[in-house]
Amino acid sequence: MMILKESIVMKIHYGTALGAVFLTVIHILMRMTQDFHESLQYENVIANYEMIGYAIMLELLLILISVHGFNGLRVILLEMKQGPTYEKVVTYGCIASMAILIAYGSRTILLTSMGMV
Amino acid sequence: MEKEPKAKEGIKGWINPAKYRKFSIERFAWILMRITGLGLLAYFIGHIYETSHILDGKAVWDASLEMTQTTEGHIFLALVIGMCVYHTGNGIRLMLGQMGYGIGKPARPDYPYKPQSLNMKGKACIYATIGVAALAMWYGIAVMFG
């Protein structure tokens, strides 16, 4: 069962990895702009979310890591066992988990960046 | 219908570092890549859940943050840093390998059938990645405990 060709999926896997590394570095550097513990204080985190550019970056990071992470999990699970039903369950299970995680994380980003806390 | 071939060993096969009767750093790197990948995915899911506490107000956020502000929390975060750096470094090595860099030229397979791709360049990259991951963990510990 294939939704996309495996070669395309792996290109997406590598692309999301490079994008995620770049954005994670920015995400971590944001914590270094001030004292590490201070940067995690409630008011500072809210201020971070309310910066529209940073909120968009967090959303992108959420999508990139979710796609990369759940595709990685799918690859590991398919390495261990094969079979038409098993592969279908693993593929759709990973896509569903990825969608749920993106939706849940997006809810936090959206509500916080719009000041609904 | 023809029966699908199956990976008979399953998880027992890929967690056994001496599967081919000889330990190799490449196999260790392969196992570590999977363990760090799974660990990072678990951390990411936890991180998304933890940061969602910001919606519940300052008191809940502070309580949730408290968990990571302990010695155990700092050690856990240092491990996450190590996993992240190793997974990134080894991932870049694999991507370069897939593009054909550092895997040697094709040669006639003669006894003792040493694969061209398992060469010193690759081994050095794996050791360097493990070293950089350890340094990053040390830096993370210095920042968190500092």
What pLDDT score does B106 carry? Answer: 82
Partners of A104 on chain B (C-beta within 8 Å) are 48-49, 52
pLDDT at position A57 over 90: yes
Q: How many CB atoms lie within 10 A of CB B138?
A: 12
The distance from CA B54 to its chain's CA centroid, rounded to whole angstroms, is: 30
CB contact residues (below 8 A), chain A span 36-75, against chain B: 36-37, 40, 42, 45-46, 49, 62, 65-66, 69-70, 72-73
Distance of residue B30 Cα from the nearest chain A Cα, in angstroms: 11
Phi first, then psi: what are they for A45, rounded to 5°? -70, -40
What pLDDT score does A100 carry? Answer: 98
pLDDT at position B7 over 90: no
Predicted TM-score (pTM) of the model is: 0.89
Please tell me if residue B119 touches chain A, with a CB cutoff of 8 Å: no
pLDDT at position B1 over 60: no
pLDDT band per the 50, 70, 90 thresholds, residue A17: very high
Average pLDDT, chain A: 92
pLDDT band per the 50, 70, 90 thresholds, residue B18: low
- Comparing CB atoms, the residue among B10, B14, B55 nearest residue A108 is B55
What pLDDT score does A80 carry? Answer: 84
Please tell me if residue A89 touches chain B, with a CB cutoff of 8 Å: no
The mean pLDDT of A60-87, rounded to a whole number, is: 94
Burial annotation A68-103 (CB, 10 A radius, 16+ → b, else e) = bbbbbbbbbbbebeeeeebbeebbeebeebbeebbe
- Comparing CB atoms, the residue among B11, B44, B95 nearest residue A65 is B44
Return the amino acid letter for B36: T
Please tell me if residue B99 touches chain A, with a CB cutoff of 8 Å: no
The distance from CA A25 to its chain's CA centroid, rounded to whole angstroms, is: 14
pLDDT at position B31 over 80: yes
Contacts (Cβ under 8 Å, ≥6 apart) of B54: A42, A45, A46, A49, A108, A112, A117, B61
How far, in Å, CA of A114 to CA of A49, rounded? 9
The mean pLDDT of B97-112, rounded to a whole number, is: 86
Q: How many CB atoms lie within 10 A of CB B127?
A: 12
Structure tokens at B127: 């050791």
The residue count of chain A comes to: 117
pLDDT at position A2 over 80: no
What pLDDT score does B144 carry? Answer: 83
